[in-house]
Structure 1
Amino acid sequence: MKFKQVAVAISLSALATLAQAITLPGSVVNADWLSKHQSEVQVIEVTSDVASFTRQPEIETNAKTGKKVLTEIGGHIEGSGLIDFTKVRAERMIDGKKVKYLIPEKVDFEKLVQAAGVKRDQPIVLVPIGLDIADVDEALRVLWQFKVYGESNIAVLDGGLAGWIMDGKTFSTAKAEKPIGNWIAKGERKDLIASSSDVEQASKSGKTTLIDSRPPSQYFGISKRDYVGDYGHIAGAKNFAPELLTRSQNGALYFLSKKSYEELLTQNGIMPATPAISYCNSGHFAAGSWFVASEIVGNPAVKLYDGSLHLWTIEGRPLVSVTR
């Protein structure tokens, strides 16, 4: 009898804890919100520069203006876990061809985030470096992968670590000592992933907008990445350059308002409520356009073309270029 009472008490306690779990205010949180709720969420830094996690940041003050400038990033928000972006994507076989930069299989992604100390049933805040759009998109790519595997209680820190430091928030340079987490996938949202066939159909029909998330020079075919087999863009695609995704303040990058993104998308020929597929060279920059259109603007019919032009050109599919 006593055992049953104890079991019931534990169950009620667990339910109470879940009921009191904090709700994220949206897919983007700011530094002030995070500093107030830091103990209620799990903070995970995403970066390719893992050495920066324990490095001391360098801030210089302009002798004339007195303005502080972050000259070298370093440190992390105290208690953060760390995900190495260079390990986030995987090489997989598609129709007998080796394709890099793809989302890992579910079990491999679980191992990756568990190694960073990520626990299940607790809100996750991802922290990019925040100095360059490429590192912001690293965190957004990880967020997309979490979403694919069923995680909805997740957000990204606006301004990233750079903004956090320049806001005068406390940080640490201690080595990461996170115990292995127990996060597991809650499903698999295939509606977030576009296949080559989906992209081909969108290109032919025009009913789904293709968003090319690369710099204009790559979109028009003036330059290309070495792992993409040809120059140019997929026929019918609209360019939404990565420079349009954020604004700079004190050296850190911040997101724009929903209204601003709606106007920018429209100005670039992308209707905010129309089904869309974002792509880039490998599925990295595409995460930025997907995040803006899906998570900030609120379009539920946005997919990301995993593998993007790397996969598209491996399959021998055509591109349109101004150079020919």
Structure 2
Amino acid sequence: MRQRCLGKFAFWCFFSFLSCAATQAHATAMLTLPGPVVCAQWLHAHSRDVQIVDVRDDPDSLSTPPIFYTQNGQKHLKRVGGHIPSALSVDFLALRNTHRVDGLSLDFQFPTPAEFQSLMQSICLQSNEPIVIAPTGDSAISLQEGALLALELTVYGVPTSEIALLNGGTHAWITAGFPISTNTIFPASGSHWRAKPARASILAHTADVRRQLDRGGLVLDARPLDQFVGITHSPVVTLPGRIQGATALPAEVMYTRAEDGSWHFLTPEQYRNVLAALDIEMDSRTKADAIVYCNTGQYAAGAWFILNRIIGDSDIRSYEGSLYNWEHHGLPVVGLK
């Protein structure tokens, strides 16, 4: 039995070495990403030139086949299973940790630089290589999960020019007819990826939000509209409602579902039209450095990615911990009476 276990361990080490060696080989020529989002067709044509990082909250589905259903004699993808071949894998739940903030023990906090560095090294991420983040694409929430990883990579030093999201996610990849793998993604060693000190210009904290409100600055609530007005609320926050003075940027109007069932970001022009329809001015001098928040930071990460990366407004900060942190600091919310 001991010999068999040692044999498996040796195989795993050899496989890990080959995996990292293959990843490092991609660095021979630095590819320029076409923008903050790429389509499945582009990724298929350049899959050997980028690091594909799968992010999802159900890692078990990486090794299970996709689920299909038939309607009117046609086969449709119901749920993503498997992953894009050669993809690295990040468990979405590992992107946030419990930390002490202002003397409070709070969940849903960004990892420290050391924690994030360890996580990226554990998946064998390499430095100075373009990254395409692949959410499942089964829901708008999956796009926000991908956006949170993009936000954390940016916070810890990866240039935005080296980060893109796969529009439609793995769902769009599968429905385009590209190959899928259900092989286990082994954790590999050999990465020397390093996190840089956090970029404070991207993150906001509770004191920043209060100062922003005091000076009449723009604070955007990126949750669904029913949570903004206080009809419903997430179980992770205590009371229904919003931060007084916040402006709604409803999640319902920020994403769209394609005919193949995959969820996509809108175009920059469409987003500008959405902001205009909501009477949100991003170019006002007093509101240029907007802060986005939600319940714990996931919706906010999606809004940050849209405003900062897709529209191109660099003065956007995401409130770490969001309403969860706000309430744990004893601050009020307003909603329906």
Q: Report whether the alignment pairs 1:104 with 2:111.
A: yes
Q: 2:149 aligns with which of 139, 142, 145?
A: 142
Give the Å deviation of 1:177. 2.4
Give the Å deviation of 1:178. 4.6
- 1:228 partner SS: coil
CA deviation vs aligned residue, 1:266-310 (integer Å, no higher than 9, x gap): 222321333211100000111111111110110010000000000
- 1:80 & 1:240 partners in 2: Cα distance? 33
Q: Report whether the alignment pairs 1:115 with 2:125.
A: no
**TM-score, normalised to structure 1's length?**
0.90
Q: What are the within-5 Å matches in structure 2 for residues 1-324 of structure 1?
A: 20-64=29-73, 66=74, 68-152=75-159, 153-180=162-189, 181-206=191-216, 208-249=217-258, 250-273=260-283, 274-323=288-337
Aligned letter for 1:298?
Answer: G
Give percent identity, aligned residues only: 32
* Paired residues of 1:129 and 1:135 also in contact (CA < 8 A): yes
Aligned letter for 1:228?
Answer: V
* Paired residues of 2:108 and 2:296 also in contact (CA < 8 A): yes
- 2:121 & 2:318 partners in 1: Cα distance? 24
- 1:226 & 1:19 partners in 2: Cα distance? 48
Give the Å deviation of 1:171. 1.1
* Paired residues of 1:272 and 1:297 also in contact (CA < 8 A): no
**TM-score, normalised to structure 2's length?**
0.87
**Runs (4+) off by over 4 Å:** none
- 1:43 partner SS: strand
- 2:108 partner SS: strand
- 2:201 partner SS: helix
CA deviation vs aligned residue, 1:109-148 (integer Å, no higher than 9, x gap): 0111111121111111110011111111111011100000
* Paired residues of 2:113 and 2:197 also in contact (CA < 8 A): no
Aligned letter for 1:28?
Answer: V
CA deviation vs aligned residue, 1:71-130 (integer Å, no higher than 9, x gap): 222010001111001111011101111111011100100111111121111111110011
Aligned letter for 1:275?
Answer: D
* Paired residues of 1:262 and 1:272 also in contact (CA < 8 A): no
User: What is the aligned partner in structure 2 of residue 11 from structure 1?
Assistant: none
Aligned letter for 2:325?
Answer: L
* Paired residues of 1:203 and 1:234 also in contact (CA < 8 A): no
